Structure formats: structure tokens, C-alpha cells
Amino acid sequence: MHVLHVGYVGIMGNLHYLEILDFVLGWPGWDISGDDKATWLAEQKAAEESAPPPGRANPPIDVGPLDAQP
């Protein structure tokens, strides 16, 4: 905690060192805290691409003759 006192009047501030590092590393494109909009959009797009199309069931699982035996 960083505090500056001038007589009876005081100013108090708080520095978030991890957020400063996240800001500096964000310029080349790294998001260490995962709070940027671009990271959220990339995760949403990856989830949509991996999901099956709407109205269609998951594809059947191919069970070979050896997999079905105990």
C-alpha cells in the first residue's frame, strides 16, 4: 500500500503490480490474466467450432469387433 501524507490530509493509493505486468505484456499480445476481450472471443470461437452443429446428434462411436468383447 502506498500512502502520501501532507499534514492532516492523506492520499492513499493502491498499485496492482500484476495488472501493470499484464498491461505491458499485452502490447505484444500476451494476456497473462485472461481478462481481455480478444481472449474471450477466441475461447468462444474455439468452443463453437468444437461443438456439433445445432439439430444434429453427436456422431456414432465406432466400436470395432475387439472393443465390444469383455
Q: Give residue-wise pLDDT tens across range 32-53.
A: 888 888 888 888 888 887 776 6
Rounded Cα–Cα distance for residues 12 and 8 (Å): 13
Q: Name the DSSP class of 28.
A: T
Q: Is the distance from CB of 3 to CB of 15 less than 8 angstroms?
A: no
In tens, the pLDDT along 9-33 reads 777 777 788 888 988 998 888 888 8
Rounded Cα–Cα distance for residues 13 and 4 (Å): 8
| pTM beyond 0.85 | no
The C-alpha cell of 41 is what? 472471443
**Closest to 36 (Cα-Cα) out of 46, 17, 27:** 27
